[in-house]
Amino acid sequence: MATYAIGDIQGCFESLLKLLEKCRFDPAGDRLWLVGDLVNRGPRSLDTLRFVRDLGPAAVTVLGNHDLYLLMVAAGSGRRSKGDTLDEILHAPDCADLLDWLRHRPLCHHEGEFCMVHAGLLPQWTVARARALAAEVEAALTGPAHQDFLANLWGSEPAAWNEDLQGWPRLRVIVNAMTRMRFCSPAGVMEFKTKGELADAPPGQLPWFEIPGRLSAADVLVIGHWSALGLRIEPNLLALDSGCFWGRHLTAVRLDDRTLFQVDCSTCEKGV
């Protein structure tokens, strides 16, 4: 049995199929770890959702910011972004079932030495603490008040973690760190405007994974989200968003031995 971790798909279903063929993925024995952002921007988000859902326990996916955006839009919360490609899902006959399945995906997955999360972890969090905090969000997202949770999810404040936070602000910080963060200060204050390369870091900010003394540094973090960062393979970091939607590559890493698989996405349709 092999486990393949795959970067952001964002509705580029054909690229996913090509990559799985290249990996010789066998759902009867192998597993997929998907770093989130299954949907949006690419042309075949509906096919991607259906395919991953139908893999059952052979696929583990964590929620990304675009996945949560889909849930917010479907709930009537949040503002529609120009150029999103969600209408096919929202008008599908099995939309309700797909959204229910998506709501029940974890925010953070921890297994052995690996921790998978879409964007990152704040420097004050161990992996065990992050997993416990993710469970708070997952309970809200799958509970009877999930519509209220989605209505209060939008926004970038508060920008830092505090153990005394409660209610929606507490859950919002957890979600923003795990699905949106790129840069933060050594004290863990997040900055959400900058989306570029490492050289674009704002004053006083560092990539979250370079913060000195980060409490999750002993684990291997498997992430996506940051296409401008590109593929980054380090002893304790597998950053796998290699810009599939932007015409670069879709990437898989076999976690067992870190073998790399990629497909060229230069001909991937953009849905526009």
Confidence band for 31, pLDDT divided at 50, 70 and 90: very high
pTM of the model: 0.96
Joined together, the tokens standing for residue 62 give 């964590």
* Side-chain-side CA neighbours of residue 130 (13 Å): 31
Confidence band for 83, pLDDT divided at 50, 70 and 90: confident
Cα separation, 31 vs 166, whole angstroms = 36
Q: Is the pLDDT of residue 267 over 80?
A: no
Cα separation, 261 vs 55, whole angstroms = 20
Cα separation, 232 vs 35, whole angstroms = 14
| 89: three-class secondary structure by DSSP | helix
Average pLDDT over residues 78-106: 94
- Domain chopping of the chain, boundaries: 3-264
Instruction: List pLDDT tens digits, range 112-147.
Output: 999 999 999 999 999 999 999 999 999 999 999 999
Computed over its alpha carbons, how large is the radius of gyration of the chain?
17
Confidence band for 272, pLDDT divided at 50, 70 and 90: very low
Q: Is the pLDDT of residue 3 over 50?
A: yes
CA torsion sign for 199, 262, 18, 225 is: negative
Instruction: List pLDDT tens digits, range 225-238.
Output: 999 999 999 999 99
DSSP 114-144: EEEESS---TT--HHHHHHHHHHHHHHHHST
Average pLDDT over residues 43-71: 97
Among 38, 156, 16, which Cα is nearest to 86's?
Answer: 38
The type of residue at 84 is D
Among 59, 41, 39, which Cα is nearest to 49's?
Answer: 39
Within a 10 A sphere around the Cβ of 162, how many other Cβ atoms? Answer: 12
| 103: three-class secondary structure by DSSP | helix
Q: Is the pLDDT of residue 269 over 90?
A: no
φ, ψ for residue 47, nearest 5 deg: -60, -40
Token look-up 């599908």 returns 92
The CATH classification number of 3-264 equals 3.60.21.10
- The answer to whether 272 touches 29, Cβ cutoff 8 Å, is no
Strand partners, 263: 250
Within a 10 A sphere around the Cβ of 234, how many other Cβ atoms? Answer: 10
Q: At what angle do helices 167-179 and 127-142 cross, to 10 degrees?
A: 120
Average pLDDT over residues 61-79: 94
Residue 36: predicted pLDDT: 97
